[in-house]
Amino acid sequence: MFGSFYLGYDRDPVPAAEWNVAADVKSAQAFVQAGAEIIYAGLDITTFVKLDEKNRSRLLMRQTPLTNALCGLYTLWGWKPRFYMTQ
């Protein structure tokens, strides 16, 4: 993610670098210059994305490396797919 592009943390008007980038700028620069295709999704953008249960379930059913990673993050954040929940 590399941080924010338009808003800083807590809606600060100054964009902020993600901790990993701020802590090791040289490594972040090496990563960017490595030639891999990078899709940036800043913290200020991802903060505003809200997925309802229907769309989270659609992601879970897609079963791609990207959607599996995203579903794993939702699990870490406390959301559980309906069929994993206990009664």
Q: What is the pLDDT of residues 11-34, one digit of tens each?
A: 788 888 888 888 999 999 999 999
The DSSP string of 11-30 is G-SS--B-HHHHH-HHHHHH
The pLDDT-based confidence of 5 (bands split at 50, 70, 90) is confident
41-84 confidence digits (pLDDT tens): 887 777 777 778 888 888 888 889 988 888 888 778 776 555 44
Hey, how many other C-beta atoms are within 10 angstroms of the C-beta on 10?
6
pTM: 0.51
Reduced DSSP (H G I as helix, E B as strand, rest coil) percent helix, strand, coil of the chain, to 5: 50, 0, 45
Q: Is the dihedral of CA 70, 71, 72, 77 positive or negative?
A: positive
More confident residue, 62 or 10: 62
